[in-house]
Amino acid sequence: MISKDTLLSNDLFGDLNPKDWPISLADLPPGSALVGGSVRDGLLNKLDQKPDLDFVIPTNAIKFSENLSKNINATFIKLDEKRDIARLVINGWTLDFARQVGQNLQDDLLRRDFRINAIALKLKDQPEIFDPIGGIEDLKTKKIVAISEKNLIDDPLRILRGFRLMCELDFDLEKKTKRFLKKNVDKLSNVAPERMKMEIIKIAHSKWNSSVWKTYLELQLLNRWNEDKPSFVELKRKEILSKELLLGSFLAKLIFLLGDEGLASLTFSKSEIKRCKNLRFWVEKINNLGLDALSEDERFQLHIDLEKDLPSLILFLKNENISAWLKRWKDPSDPLFHPSCPLDGYLLQKALKIPPGPLLGDLMRHLSREKAFGRFFTNQEALEVARKWTLENAPFL
């Protein structure tokens, strides 16, 4: 009779579908094992079409990877010379190779971060799941359990990763593990900004359950990078059903996690920082004053600043405003939610003898604003408004 472990190993191996991998199992040295996220996600039936593959091999990983890259025409990347880790990228696949740490595979797994990430699939003639510390049981009970506090301290990024896994998998942090994270949160300052950024992006892209907000505030994970500690940032949506609001949730979560200085220190781009700054400004303003208190100029500027990112702002509005705002934003012809000048700059220069420069820009903004609030409906009416504005603001042209 075939044992349950054998059946589970065969099912996992089948789901991983090695025939589709860009390498053959025969390319791997004897004693190789698949570890990490692909094993975990395979057991959870959450595999991507091209999952990232992490291999532990008993030989020199960098040298092996470099040689293999030449054979399969893959891009070779040396990730960590000290720890002997390399990466191959080919046709949308990412394959990481790391030399086994310790005397055997169990030693290697015991040095990892969480028990759900310490499950291996031994790649031999008969594939075999190897779970020395109970990671499969944690998958069943939806718990994130640290292997040891020391392992977290050895690479403090794992502190942030624990929270990220909670968000992505909809799991709970085991009590002792939560204490480990909170106790050592200050050690995140020793992590390279680029590595922090990648984890934060994954956190902001994940679907947060109802307990995530409470856990985040309890752990105070990113306080060092959130100088404002904005209490106003509160996403009250129980479920984000529309794809537009789901897309907008990334930026909404990002302003909750990081302040402007934090974004800069963690190597986010100037464009990303500007988008967050604009969103933060309008969320604060609406939270303090209310939508009805915004002047016409402020409403227009809001839609100038946030035209592309309005779904992010909508997530902070009162329930009664959400549907109407989203409907208007989805209408590309809405003149307020998608401001645009009805007449192009060249036509205005020719008709009104206006030279290119700041004055022309001010005029085009004025026309966009008047159009947004329905003060004309034809191009001829727009030209008359432009002529009147020019006489008032540049009478000597």
What CATH number is associated with residue 26?
3.30.460.10
Q: What is the pTM of this model?
A: 0.86
Confidence bin at 149 (pLDDT 50/70/90): very high
Q: Which of 102, 124, 141 is the last residue of a domain?
A: 141
* Alpha-carbon gap, residue 98 to 318, rounded angstroms: 50
Boundary-marking domain end, from 99, 122, 141: 141
Residue 338 maps to a domain: no
How buried is residue 296: exposed, middle or buried, by Cβ count under 10 Å (0-12/13-18/19+)?
Answer: exposed
pLDDT recorded at residue 165: 96
Please check whether residue 118 lies inside any domain of the structure: yes
Residue 335 belongs to a domain: no
* pLDDT confidence bin for 330, thresholds 50/70/90: very high
369 lies in which domain range? 345-393
Query: How many structural domains comprise the chain?
Result: 2
* pLDDT at residue 245, rounded to an integer: 75
Tokens representing 49 are 């079409």
Last residue of a domain, one of 141, 164, 186: 141
Res. 298: pLDDT tops 60: yes
Task: Give the tokens for residue 347.
Answer: 């036509």
Write out pLDDT tens, residues 357-395: 999 999 999 999 999 999 999 999 999 999 999 999 987
The phi, psi pair for 88, rounded to 5°, reads: -120, 135
258 vs 214, higher pLDDT: 258
pLDDT at 27 over 90: yes
Give domain status of residue 381, yes or no.
Answer: yes
Model pLDDT, residue 240: 52
Answer whether residue 22 is part of any domain. Answer: yes
150 in any annotated domain: no
- How many secondary structure helices (H) and strands (E) does the chain include? 19, 9
pLDDT of residue 1: 42
